[in-house]
């Protein structure tokens, strides 16, 4: 997903807005999302600062009850893009931490930045609701639906 920055690199302090609303796939976690991405790009002289937001929702499996639920995600994005300097050897200009992105020429590719921001926002143990009662450790019944037939799960949630 490329944004043309030709107009704003002509002069310090120039900026432009960019919006994308549409499908976005993340292969690492095998999902196809619908994302709403808004960005404001400013030429700082050193590079391009991207400030924006990502709104989407991701289907995740609840760590407690194992049901699939849709998690709304809102991310505030702040990233820096540096122009690649051809005088520096290739292995020295790659960022260690991945917190700076590089670009050549008139376009910056924001796909990686969006992907990384979404991946970083995902909870380690997604929970469908703070009140999720999970499944009964004895019979495996979903305790959100009803107290399970074995009774063990019902007692568990009262503790």
Residues that bind Zn ion (CB under 5 A): 62, 64-65, 128, 132, 136, 138-139, 141, 148, 150, 152-153
Contacts (Cβ under 8 Å, ≥6 apart) of 53? 36, 37, 38, 74, 75, 76, 77
Q: Which is nearer to Zn ion, 62 or 77 (CB)?
A: 62
In angstroms, the CA 25 to CA 133 distance is 32
Cβ at position 34, least distance to Zn ion in Å: 23
Cβ at position 70, least distance to Zn ion in Å: 12
In angstroms, the CA 36 to CA 153 distance is 40
In angstroms, the CA 11 to CA 48 distance is 12
Give how far Cα 35 sits from Cα of 17, 21, 65, 99, Å.
17, 6, 27, 21
Q: Which is nearer to Zn ion, 5 or 60 (CB)?
A: 60
Q: Which is nearer to Zn ion, 61 or 112 (CB)?
A: 61
Cβ at position 149, least distance to Zn ion in Å: 6
Q: According to DSSP H, which parts of the chain are helical?
A: 90-93, 111-121, 152-158
Cβ at position 73, least distance to Zn ion in Å: 17
Backbone angles phi, psi at 155, to 5 degrees: -65, -35
Q: Which is nearer to Zn ion, 40 or 126 (CB)?
A: 126
Cβ at position 157, least distance to Zn ion in Å: 11
Q: Which is nearer to Zn ion, 49 or 156 (CB)?
A: 156
């Amino acid at each position: 997903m490329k944004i043309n920055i030709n107009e704003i690199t002509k002069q310090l302090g120039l900026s432009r807005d960019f919006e994308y609303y549409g499908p976005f796939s993340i292969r690492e976690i095998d999902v196809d999302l619908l994302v709403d991405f808004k960005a404001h790009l400013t030429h700082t002289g050193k590079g391009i600062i991207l400030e924006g937001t990502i709104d989407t929702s991701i289907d995740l499996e609840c760590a407690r009850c194992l049901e699939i639920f849709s998690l709304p995600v809102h991310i505030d994005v702040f990233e820096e893009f540096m122009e690649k300097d051809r005088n520096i050897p290739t292995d020295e200009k790659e960022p260690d931490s991945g917190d700076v992105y590089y670009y050549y020429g008139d376009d910056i590719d924001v796909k990686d930045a969006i992907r990384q921001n979404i991946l970083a926002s995902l909870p380690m143990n997604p929970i469908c609701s703070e009140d999720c009662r999970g499944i009964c450790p004895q019979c495996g019944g979903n305790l959100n639906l009803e107290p399970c037939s074995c009774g063990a799960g019902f007692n568990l949630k009262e503790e």
